[in-house]
Chain A
């Protein structure tokens, strides 16, 4: 069995030997989809109801690429241009990177882990010492977890492992720019169904189970907060209905936190709370 953790505001797919897990759902909703015949499962960890309600702000897309290898540089530049980055600056060593960072104030800085003369972390630290919140992404070839968490601890907001596919660059960019669409119920369910169908699931066979959408502080009467959970539940159900996916079971609302696990082999949804474990 492989445990696949679905991060807040994202979706994931799993096959017969996988468990899909959304850890610590409070107001968030976990939507589990399942094709019983093909044994393909999917889970969305939803934060917000509807992508259309949020006014799309004018978000500046300005990138800095600090990379010695000109091939990687130009390929990443093409990808970013394709993703709508209007201004892309390239550098190949530390001093140039610091100067260009200061000059252009990019909304994302992609810095190679092996940037001359020493390494990318050194350059990242020089930027972070002046601007502790700097939007830095460290680019690295495949490496171990310790190294990745070392990059994060040194201040990288995200670590991007090669190959830098368009899908990966998009998700990293959206995360940094704060415009991740998959945190919304409507978008997440739609994308999840598409992904499952692409991998061989039949949309007509899909069934759904959902959990979460709690209101964790029962004495808090703030309507905005109360509504986050409720609306996540309602919009998730509405979207499932519109897509013709039957809701087989749910464990929603109330004031209790839940960790949910979809066991893809059986389609069972296991719900862990402070009071114990329950299966749907």
Chain B
């Protein structure tokens, strides 16, 4: 029994979940490398915590529904379809802006247009390299849209995604990671979700490529 289906939702085996988690890990690693090149500073990444969370619990995972965050949202097209969201606690986002623009840490307190475009550029790099890693792993063309940036309470940035997927999926692939830039720690969260057909496609590609065996459930 490789894939059990209820006719509505894709059910995943532990092994398939592990493979998806591995994708998350590789993607984050790739993003860190690109970030390091971009800001020309030492960047290392803590081993990311990758898991699946239920949609209704997501804002709890990022520090509560009213936590102020900067979110980067983009849509994924190509051979698979889906969407992705990066969330940084406000403080971390502003520190990243300081680092990119070579200002002393703590300078940025609110985003002006210049900061916003710097942050968009950063988002392009992070999301692009994350999705590239995914694409390479799956040997599939994955195209990110331009990133969109907003700063507000975490739950308010997420609810339209929860709404869009409330009809089909109920879990999100969630990666939480700490970035150390020149020894300074910045927290960030990343989530990606694929529509049901794409998830099936990804799983079947993983089976082809890595010969995942059914765990004999």
Contacts and interface: CB of A to CB of B under 8 A. Distances in A.
Given A27-B160, A214-B156, A54 B12 contact: no
A267 interface: no
A157 interface: yes
B12 to A, nearest CB: 6
A217 B156 contact: no
B155 A9 contact: no
Contacts of A58: 7
Interface stretch (B37-45, B146-154, B180-188): B146-154
Interface string A14-39: 00000000011111100000000000
A256 B171 CA distance: 26
B8 A24 contact: no
The listed residue with most B CB atoms (<10 A of its CB), out of A8, A54, A228, A274, is A8
Contact of A47 (B7, B52, B153, B162): B162
Interface in B171-197: 171
B59 interface: yes
A171 interface: no
B217 A157 contact: no
A229 B160 contact: yes
A102 B215 CA distance: 13
Contact of B6 (A24, A107, A220, A224): A107
B107 interface: no
A216 B156 CA distance: 7
Interface centre among B162, B163, B170, by most A CB within 10 Å? B163
B195 to A, nearest CB: 13
Interface in B1-25: 4, 6-9, 11-14, 17
A60 interface: yes
Nearest to B167: A54
Given A27-B163, A47-B163, A130-B13, A105 B156 contact: no
Interface residues of B, number: 44
A259 to B, nearest CB: 6
Interface in B105-161: 146, 148-160
Nearest to B10: A133
Contact of B166 (A9, A133, A225): A9
B13 A217 contact: no
Contact of A132 (B14, B66, B154, B162): B14
A47 B160 CA distance: 8
Contacts of A130: 13-14, 215, 217
Contact of B65 (A24, A157, A228): A24
Interface residues of A, number: 45
Nearest to A259: B66
Contact of A257 (B11, B156, B163, B164): B156
B159 A217 contact: no
A interface: dominant SS: loop
A257 B150 CA distance: 10
Contacts of B148: 217, 219-220
B56 interface: yes
Nearest to A24: B155
B68 interface: yes
Nearest to A27: B160
Contacts of B73: 217, 220
B53 to A, nearest CB: 11
A1 interface: no
B163 A228 contact: yes
A279 interface: no
B68 A274 contact: yes
A257 B157 contact: yes
A24 B159 contact: yes
A178 interface: yes
Interface string B48-83: 000010101101000001101001010100000000
Contacts of B155: 23-24, 26, 257
Contact of A225 (B71, B146, B160): B160
Nearest to A48: B163
Q: What are the 10 tightest A-B residue pairs by CB atom distance, in nearest-first order?
A: A257-B156, A24-B155, A26-B156, A217-B148, A24-B65, A257-B152, A26-B159, A27-B160, A220-B148, A130-B217
15 contacts: A24-B66, A24-B156, A24-B159, A26-B155, A27-B163, A47-B159, A59-B8, A105-B6, A133-B171, A178-B9, A216-B71, A217-B73, A228-B164, A257-B157, A274-B153
Given A24-B159, A131-B13, 12 more contacts: A24-B153, A24-B156, A25-B159, A26-B158, A28-B159, A47-B162, A59-B7, A131-B14, A178-B8, A178-B167, A217-B157, A274-B68
